Amino acid sequence: METHMARGRSRLRKMVLNYLRWLRGAEAGGSSPAAVQARFTFLRLRFNAMLSQFDIFAEALVQRTEHDNGVRLSGLDVLAADALRVSGSTFEAPPVICYLARGHGAAIRRARTRLPGGGDSPVAIIRIPRERMIGSGIASSLVHEVGHQAAALLDLIGSLRPLLQALQRKGGPEQMAWTIWERCISEIIADFWAVAKVGVSATTGLIGVVSLPRAFVFRINLDDPHPFPWARVRLSAAMGRALYPHPQWARIERMWDAFYPLAGLDAERRRIIDLLLGTMPTFVALLAQHRPRTLSGRTLSEALEIEQRQPSRLQLLFQTWGGSPKQMRDASPSLVFAVIGQANADGRISPEQESRLLTDLLTYWALRGTLDVSAYCSEQLRPRARITQPTTISVSQQNKERITI
């Protein structure tokens, strides 16, 4: 971000100096006021575009200096980068930066998308609601947004949409269901990514986000890219059941249905819900078994290595690690969040223990990530000294051990 902004400032400064030079020259003296004003207006628009770009990056940069928040955000950066990795993928993953903001939901400005005034964003920027910075539920929001970036890199929307449109063309009573799934496919892929990466905590975290007054939970808006909340939670549980078979998904569905019973809904809403529930198993299977060209013949399930996050394995890892952060530090951060989320769903960890554990881990990952970057930068700047003769270095003065480089 710093490099991108520095280049932009340099270009803008040259434009300003060129304009001033032109303004003082003979050419400007022979130009009409309208021509002078036109060039000035364009320059001012470029200046305002630079300010807009600064505002986009400012919160992510400034919050790095906040006590506690800066460290936790750096740890979340490491989690986001890990959640974006796909085994055997050929895409070049961009840097991912997190920041906190007011509001109910998370959001992402994807890398390599156009910025105000031109140019592409050099990083993916994820906005995290402050209210989500409690417990393992943070991973649900964060990895969902990472899923949007992954979907763009793998062109998942472009490869899935024609399949869903073909199902719509078959007609019949299920046509409306396939139309809804196709319109919401962007958000659905992101939810699928979250479930695949962090397991049951993706669904329980989603419940924490969309637990709203009943009128909002059942509000069906076909212009909204998100499935309406009631169906979205049921779809998340269906994804979990398909990827990670376990009785917990039926338990979550019963709990959600008890929170928001279907009794009392009008006939049209009930009809739409029945259509969505009827097509849900086929739709989830289509997602799990999808083979986009970008994955070289592998399905989404295979690429995301779901065998590593089966509930039984997560439970075994939590038991083996004994709730100790020292045992968790060297594991994949997204796997660690999946383990802790499973322990939370099983009632094997208290909210206080979960909070302390995640704070310790985020701090460690932040430190490790900072040291890794510092070491890389130091290596790039270090002059390459050529060693022509063996050099001996004393290792221990006490026993006169020596090594030869």
Helices (H) and strands (E) in the chain, counts: 18, 5
The answer to whether the beta carbons of residues 190 and 147 sit under 8 Å apart is yes
Length of the chain: 405
CA distance 167 to 174: 9
Question: What pTM, to 2 d.p., does this model score?
Answer: 0.83
* pLDDT reported for residue 274: 96
- Supply the pLDDT for residue 395: 37
Q: CB-based contacts of 106: which residues, under 8 Å, 6+ apart? A: 126, 127, 128, 129, 132, 141, 142, 144, 145
Q: Return the SS3 of 8.
A: helix
**Which of 206, 182, 140, 207 has its CA nearest to residue 283?**
182
Give the C-alpha separation, 289 to 291, whole Å. 6
pLDDT of the chain along its 405 residues, tens only?
888 888 888 999 999 999 999 888 888 778 888 988 999 999 999 898 888 888 888 888 888 888 888 888 999 999 999 999 997 777 788 999 998 887 777 899 999 888 887 788 889 999 988 877 777 788 999 999 999 999 999 999 999 999 999 999 998 889 999 999 999 999 999 999 999 999 999 999 999 999 999 999 999 998 899 999 999 999 999 999 999 999 999 999 999 999 999 999 999 999 999 999 999 999 999 999 999 999 988 999 999 989 989 999 999 999 999 878 888 988 999 999 999 999 999 999 998 888 889 889 999 999 887 765 554 455 545 655 443 444 333 334 433 333 222
- The residue behind tokens 């000035």 is 40
Per DSSP, the three-state class of 401 is: strand
Q: Phi and psi dihedrals of 33, rounded to 5?
A: -55, -35
Residue 382 pLDDT: 60
Which one, of 59, 70, 68, 74, lies nearest residue 109 by Cα? 59
Structure tokens at 280: 């849900």
| Pairing relationship of beta strands 124-129 and 96-101 according to DSSP bridges | parallel
Strand (E) or helix (H) holding 334: helix 333-345
SS (H, E, C) 216-267: HHCCCCCCCCCCCHHHHHHHHHHHHHHHCCCCHHHHHHHHHHHHCCCCCCCH
